[in-house]
Every structure is written in C-alpha cells, then in structure tokens.
Amino acid sequence: MQLNLAILPGDGIGPEIVEVALNVTKAVAEKFGHTLSYEYALVGACAIDKTGAPYPDATHALCMKSDAVLFGAIGDPKYDNNPSAKVRPEQGLLKMRKDLGLFANIRPVSTFASLLHKSPLRADLVDGADFMCIRELTGGMYFGRPQGRSEDGNTAYDTCVYTREEVERILHLAFKFAGQRRKKVTVVDKANVIATSRLWRQIAQEIAPQYPDIETEYMFVDNAAMRIIQWPKSFDVLVTENLFGDILTDEASVITGSLGMLPSASIGIHTSVFEPIHGSYPQAAGKNIANPLATVLSAALMFEYAFNLMEEGSLIRKAVNASLEADFVTEDICSNGQPRTTTEVGEWLVKYIQG
C-alpha cells in the first residue's frame, strides 16, 4: 500500500518524539512491504516565527493532499507568558482542527502492567482499566463567538455554541465505537446548569434507542471527574463536549502512570491527525529525554484508523509493551535507575520491529 504522510513536528519536544515515531513507521512499512512517502510542514510557534501564521496555508495544503498527519506538539513559553499576544501557537491547532473538519478526538486510556506502580492511584483501582474518551473537537467554547474582552479590559467573555448536527455526529460515532467494544456509552454533560448540555442530553436520549444493544448512561461532568479516579474500570466509551473532554482526558492520563503514554486520533471530514495528548514540554526540548511512546502509539492508531492496517498497529503496540517490560524507557517511567534517551528508545523499538 502507498502511505502518504504529512509530518508536523511542531514545537518543543515535538521534533524529537515525531522523529522516533516516523522511524518506527518506516520500519513497519518496510516490514510489511508498504511504500512510504512523507513531507514536513510548519505548525505552531515555529510557524509563527517563520511565516507569521500558526497554521500556514502551505501546511494546510499538504495536510489535505496527504492520507494522514503525524503531529507532535505546539506551544512556546514566550507566547504562554504574553497574554496580550495577538497570534498564538494554539490558534494553529484550533485552525487545523476546524479547516480539516476534525470533529472527533479519540483517546484510548488503558493500563500497562509494568507501569501500574507509576500511577498515583492504587493498583487495584487502575489494573485492567480500558476505556475510550471521545471528545467533540470543533464546537463549544473554544470556537463560539462572540469571544473577547471589553474595551476597558476588565470583563472577558466566551460563548459556548453547539448545533444539533455537531452533537448528533459525535454521538453516533460514540455508539459505533461502543458497539465494537463492551457496548456501553457514558454521555457526560452539565445539563442541570448549561443550555448546550441540555441539548446534548436531549439528542442523546433521542439517539440511544437506535442502539438497543448498547447501555447508555448520563453523568454530570463533576461526577464523571470523580468517577474516573474512584472507579475507572466502570467506563467503556465516554463521550463529551470540547471543554469537558479536554479536561477529563488529561485527568484520565494519570491512570496509565504517565502523560507520555497516551496517544490520540483526531478524525473527521478530511485528513485525520494522529498525536500524543501531552504538550510541547519546552523544558525538555533538545535534551533527548522526552518520552516518545505516546507518539509511537499514535502511529499505531494511524495505521489502524487511517489505513485499516490492524496487524501493523498491533506490532507497534507489541514493541512498546516489550520496551516497557524490559524497562528500556525514558526517565519519566524508568524503574531501574538506567533511563534511556529518546533516541535510544526509538532505536530499540525499530530493532524490535525489524526482528
């Protein structure tokens, strides 16, 4: 198969972790006889520095003509610490999601036996946890208008907007994934307070009877935040709006023991994007210490969701599990006092795949 990729390393540790994931992708493509072509493009702070735009037109054109996008991270302290900046790296991420029609972010959350001790939660609570968060990605408060501040700067406002179409398509996707898993959907909202949440719950109640074999439960977001910590094994597919999903998925990352272990896939109308859920970690940039495994696991999702190559994705997961069991990992999850560099972990994974 011909695999055409857009490679968007982004900022901070993005170039380091994407390089590892790309090398793993090359090894898998070679092993299974696929032809791989790829091209790099700018996004985030580095794009602002060179073009003035966080998601340049050239980057969008490359994404549109590619089969999939392998993405690193965006963000830079010089923008984080400047509230008055008119152009910000994060605007590039939002624009990419909007322009590519990436309405669904899929984040699988599962545990690794060798990392149970790294979770701040008790092992008996997290051992065996395996659920999927589906976050609506192009609506809600991040995109609602009006948005801004008053002329005197003393009042700020954001608008949360959702349409029936936006809610329906993400809910149908959640029920579809649940049908392939353990047949349970948890709809998370704040319907007791927020009007958009009441629309979400109304539409979910209309749609649920179309999937009679799937159990549907409804949960306020504050309760869901508590349940993720108290009883993570109670979830199968959790679906929610943009802001709630952003917060809950980061909370759920502690279940695995490290934010550096969670991949994601953003899918929708055009080309899908595959990325780790962590940020640009600028403090580690250039030090060759960042954990690349979330990005590598995102490459596994890419093979599965973008190309329907399940065996290839499975091999990547097997390689990651083997590196964890061998404790050949970076400093954030190392247990034997011998942390490996980002590059060393990548080389180990490639050799395992080449087998």
Residue pair 273/105 in contact by the 8 Å Cβ criterion: no
CA angle, 265 then 138 then 110, to 5°: 30
Catalytic sites, residue numbers: 142, 190, 222, 246, 250
CA angle, 266 then 267 then 273, to 5°: 50
Query: Nearest CA to 72 among 277, 210, 249, 327?
Result: 277
Q: Which residues pair with 57 in a beta bridge?
A: none
346 contact partners, CB below 8 Å, separation of at least 6: 19, 20, 23, 24, 292, 296
Q: How far apart are CA 353 and CA 319, in angstroms?
A: 7
Helix (H) or strand (E) holding 134: strand 130-136
Locate 159 and state its tokens.
Answer: 């608008």
Query: Nearest CA to 312 among 23, 13, 18, 29?
Result: 29
Helix crossing, 89-99 with 57-65: angle to 10°?
A: 40
Q: How far apart are CA 265 and CA 283, in angstroms?
A: 25
